[in-house]
A = this chain, B = another copy of it.
Amino acid sequence: MKLLFDRGDLRVEKIDNIKNEINYYLNKEENVKEEWIEENHPIDIAEALSELDASEINDFTKLLETEDLADIFEESEKDLQIDILKCKSSEEIIEIFSHMAADDITDILGLLPIQKRKELLRHMKQDDALVVKNLLGYDRESAGGIMTTEYLLLSKNLTTTEALNKIKKIAPDTEIIDTIFVADSNKKLVGSVDLRDILSSDDEKKLEELMDDNIIKVSADVDQEIVAQQVAKYDLTVIPVINKSGILIGIITVDDIIDVIEAENTEDLYKMHGVDEEESSDTTLLQSIKSRMPWMFINLATAFLATFTVAMFEDVIAQVAALAAAMPIVAGMGGNAGTQTLSIVIRGIALGEIDFKDNWTLLFKEAMVGVINGAATGLVTGLILYLMYGNYYLGLIIFLAMILNLLVAGMFGFLIPLFLQSLGIDPALASAIFLTTVTDVFGFFVFLGLARGFIVYLI
C-alpha cells in the first residue's frame, strides 16, 4: 500500500462539490435536473448525502425521480439506506425496490425490523416477494446469500440466431451478458457459452455445440470466502450457483466478490488483533469502546498469566534487578517473531495456499527460522548485556532464552491458526493475542528460570 498524500483530498473536493450542488437544489426546492444526475456517479452522490443530516436527506430525496433515487439508494452505505427508508412510506419503498435487483432488496430487508420486513413483502408483487423470501433463507455469508437471480439461462437446443434474439430481449434485465448459461431439458445447468462465440459463429449452430461443459460452479450453501477463492483462482467474472439437483438458482458477479474479498481481508486483520469486524473509522466512540473492551479484558486475563510467571521469580529479580530490564527483550522478540509466522500462515490459509499434508515440513521450517534468528539476535543481545552489566553469564542465559523462545514462537505462530481452523473456528480470531501470551509466559519462564539456575554467577 503506497498512496499519494493528496489523493484523499482530491476525492474530498469532488464530494464537496456535489454537496454544494445538493444544497443549491435544497434551497431552491427545485427538482433535480436529469443532466446533473447523468454527470454525477450515484456512488459519489450517495457519499455526499451520507454527510448531510437526516432532515436534509429527507428533503433532497423528495426532489429526485424515483428511478434516480433507486440508483443512489442502491449504492449507499447501510446507515444512509436506513436514513432514507425511515422517511418513506411503504408504497414509496416498493416503488424504489421495483428498480432494484432482488439480491440488493434482500440485503436491505435483512437490515429492517421483522415487522417492517413482513409489511414490505406483503406489498410487493407476489413473484418478486417469492424470490426475495427465498433469498432471505440463505446465510448472509454463503453463496446463496450473495447471489443474484438476474442471469441469462437458455436451452441447449437453441440455435445461435434464436439465442441472440432471446438475449436481445432479456439482456436489459440481467446483471451480465458476456456469459450465457445453458440448461438441458430438465433445467439442469450443463454449460456456459461466451457471447462472443455466439456473435461470431455460424447462425444455425446449436448452443450445445458451442458451450463449454466444464464450468466452475458452487452450491448455495458454500461459504462466501470459498466462492471468492474460486473466482480469484479461475479468473471468473461470474460464477453460477446451483441447488442440490444441479439446477441454476443464481449467479454471483465479480463486483460482489471484490466486496467479499475486502470484507474478509478486513475481518482477518481485525480478528487477528481482537477488533470487531463491524468497526470502521466511522464507528462512534461508544460503539468502539463497547466492541473493544471485551477484547481488552480477555487480553488482561492473558496478561496476568505473564504476571504470575514473573511473580514466581520475584526472589531472583530482587537479587538481580538487571533481569527485570532484560526480560522484555526475550518476550518482545518472541512475540514479534511469532507474529511474522502468524501473518504468513493466516494469509496462506486465506488464499488457499496452505496444504495440510505439507504441515510438518512447514512447522519444521518455522521452528528452524526461530532457532536461527534466535541465535543471531540472542548473540548480539548477550554481547550488549555483557557490556552493560559486565556479567558473562547474563549474556549466556539471554542467548539461550532467545533461541528457545523464538523456537516456541515459530511453532506456536504456526500451530495456533491451524489448531483454530481444525476446530472450525476462524483461524485469525485473536491469534496475535494468544500468541503473545504464549511467548510472554514462555519467554519469562525460560529466561528467569535459567537465571535462577545460574543465580550464583549473577550476583
Which A residues between 267 and 281 are near B, CB-CB below 8 angstroms? 267-275, 279-281
The answer, yes or no, to whether A353 is at the interface (CB within 8 Å) is yes
Which residue on chain B has the smallest CB distance to residue A261? B261
A378-390 interface code vs B (CB 8 A; 1 in, 0 out): 0011001000100
Residues of B within 8 A of A342 (CB): 273
The one of B281, B295, B315, B354 in contact with A348, judged by C-beta atoms closer than 8 angstroms, is B281
Tell yes or no: A9 within 8 A of B by CB.
yes
Do A428 and B1 have beta carbons less than 8 Å apart? yes
Given A2-B223, A199-B171, A307-B329; A214-B257 close (CB under 8 Å): no
Copies in the complex: 2
Assess whether A353 is in contact with B306, with CB atoms less than 8 Å apart.
no
Asked whether any CB of chain B lies closer than 8 Å to the CB of A244, the reply is: no
Q: Do B328 and A444 touch (CB < 8 A)? A: yes
Q: Which of B39, B172, B254, B271 contacts A258 (CB 8 A)?
A: B254
Q: Interface stretch among A22-30, A58-66, A355-363?
A: A355-363
A8 in contact with B261 given A255-B235, A321-B318, A345-B281 (CB within 8 Å): no
Query: What residues of B have a CB within 8 angstroms of the CB of A255 in the complex?
Result: 232, 235-237, 254
A178 vs B7: C-alpha distance when bound (angstroms): 30
Least CB separation from A441: chain B residue:
B328
Interface 0/1 of A9-37, CB less than 8 Å to B = 10110000000000000000000000000
- Across the interface, A346 reaches (CB within 8 A) one of B269, B346, B425, B436, namely B269
Determine the distance from Cα of A357 to Cα of B2 in the docked complex, in whole angstroms: 20
Q: Which residues from B are CB-within-8-Å of A325?
A: 307-308, 310-311, 314
Instruction: Answer whether residue A185 sits at the interface, using C-beta atoms and an 8 A cutoff.
Output: no
- The answer to the question of A120 belonging to the interface, with a C-beta cut-off of 8 Å to chain B, is no
Residues on B with beta carbons closer than 8 Å to the beta carbon of A271: 1
Chain A facing B: main interface SS: helix
A2 to B428, CA, bound (A): 9
* Chain B residues within 8 Å of A112, by CB: none
Flag if A231 contacts B258 (CB, 8 Å): yes
Contacts of A362 in B (CB 8 A): 281
The number of chain A residues with a CB under 8 A from chain B is: 145
Of all chain B residues, which has the CB nearest A225?
B1
Residue in B3, B232, B272 whose beta carbon sits within 8 Å of that of A226 in the complex: B3
Assembled-state Cα–Cα distance A12/B358 (Å):
11
Knowing A41-B234, A196-B172, A300-B380, the reply to whether A307 touches B328 (Cβ < 8 A) is yes
* A274 close to B1 (CB less than 8 A): no
Closest residue of chain B to A358, judged by CB?
Answer: B281
Please name all residues of chain B whose beta carbon is closer than 8 Å to the beta carbon of A365 when the two chains form the complex: 284-285, 288
Q: What is A's interface to B at a CB cutoff of 8 Å?
A: 1-5, 7-9, 11-12, 38-41, 43, 141, 164, 167-169, 171-172, 174, 176-178, 195-196, 199-200, 214, 216, 223, 225-226, 231-237, 254-255, 257-259, 261-262, 264-275, 279-282, 284-285, 288-289, 292-293, 295-297, 299-300, 303-304, 306-308, 310-311, 314-315, 317-318, 321-329, 331-333, 335-337, 339-340, 342-358, 362, 365, 368-369, 372-373, 376-377, 380-381, 384, 388, 421-422, 424-428, 432-433, 436, 440, 444
